[in-house]
Copies of this chain bind each other. A is one copy, B any other.
C-alpha cells in the first residue's frame, strides 16, 4: 500500500493506494471518528463490493443508501434519498458518509456530507479509474443542473481516499478508457515525462496490467494532490486541471447527461483544446497529432458529435464555472506539458475550431 498526502493544513488527508484494500479493516475504520457510518453506493457497484465494505464497518451498523447509476441521476432531487436515510436513522453531526463507487457517487455523497447539518465528515472509496485518478481527490463535490454540469456544489475535503486497485478488474472497458482521459490530462498539463510514459504504456493500461495501472494512478494522484494543495478553491492553477472540461461539459450537457461518459467528453475536449492551442500558434501540428493519437489509442472519442452545433456548444460553454465577468476563460496548452488559462481567444476562432473538430454548423 502506498500513501500520498493532500497537504491542506488542518484539512490534510491521506490517499491510500493498493490492491485488496477493500478486504482490510484499516485504514478505513481508523478514519471514522463518530459512532455512525452511512455507505452511499449505486445499483451497479452494490452487488460487487457493498458486502465487503459493510463487513469492514460492521460495528458501526452502517446505514446503506443505494442510488441509481449514471450521470443522469446526479441532480439536486436525487440527493433526497440520502437525506431521507440520514434523518430517518437520526444521523447526527458525528456521522461519517462513505462514498463507494465512481465519480457520480463520490460527487453526490461529498455534497450531501457538505450540507447535511451544515457539514459532516466523509470518506471516498472510488471504484472506477476516473474516480481514482481524479474526482475522489480534491474536495470538489456537487450535482448537475439541466443547464450545466456540477453547477450546484461545495468544496468539502474527504477524511481519506481509499483506492483499491483490484476493483478495476470489474470495470467495463468503456469506463476504463474514460478514466484514461483524466490520466492523459495530467501528462498534457504538467508532466511531459508522464506523457511519454503513457505513449509507451497505454496498451498495458488497456490490458489492465496491475503495475502499469498502479503507476498511472499514483502519478495522477500525486499530480492532483500537489495542485489541490497549492490552490484548494481554484483561484489560480487548479483551473488547469480543467483542460478539456469546458468543451467536455458542453458535450455532456448538450448530449444529455449519461449519454457520453464524463471521461469521453473530456477526451474529445482535450483534442479540441489542443487544436485551438495550435490555431493560435501555441502548439505545432505534430503536438496536436500526439494528443489525438494518444486519445485514440486509449479508445476515446476525439471529435465533437455532429448533432451539436458549434453555436450550441459555445452557448453551453458560456454557463461554465470558468466564465468570469462574462468572459469565457479557456484552459489551453502553451506547449505539451504546459497548460495555461486564457480569456483572449476571439469567439470566431473558437467557432472555427469547434466546427473543424466535428461540431455542426
Contact = CB atoms under 8 A, between A and B. Distances in A.
A188 to B, nearest CB: 24
Interface in A274-297: none
Contacts of A83: 76, 145, 151-152
Contacts of A151: 83, 87, 116-117
Interface string A92-117: 11100000000000000001001111
A335 to B, nearest CB: 28
B142 A94 contact: no
A154 B118 contact: yes
A118 B321 contact: yes
B118 A153 contact: yes
A119 B140 CA distance: 12
A324 B93 contact: yes
Given A93-B321, A324-B94, A325-B94, A119 B35 contact: no
B154 A142 contact: no
A92 B142 contact: no
Say which size band chain A's interface belongs to: 35 or more
B152 A115 contact: yes
Contacts of A117: 151, 153, 321
A34 B325 contact: yes
A326 interface: yes
Interface in A20-54: 34-35
B319 A87 contact: yes
A210 to B, nearest CB: 35
Interface in A67-104: 76-77, 79-80, 83-84, 87-88, 90, 92-94
**Max count, chain B CB within 10 A of own CB: residue among A34, A118, A145, A324:** A118
A239 to B, nearest CB: 11
A80 B146 CA distance: 11
Contacts of A116: 151-152
Nearest to A147: B87
B152 A140 contact: no
A121 interface: no
Given A76-B76, A151-B83, A325-B34, A118 B142 contact: yes
Contacts of A94: 324-325
Nearest to A77: B77
Interface string A310-327: 000000001101011110
A76 B115 CA distance: 11
Given A83-B145, A90-B318, A116-B152, 11 more contacts: A88-B147, A92-B323, A92-B326, A93-B323, A111-B115, A115-B142, A115-B152, A115-B154, A117-B151, A117-B153, A118-B140
Q: Which 9 A-B pairs have the closest CB atoms?
A: A87-B147, A92-B323, A117-B321, A118-B153, A94-B325, A115-B152, A35-B325, A90-B319, A87-B148
6 contacts: A35-B326, A87-B319, A93-B321, A118-B140, A118-B154, A118-B233
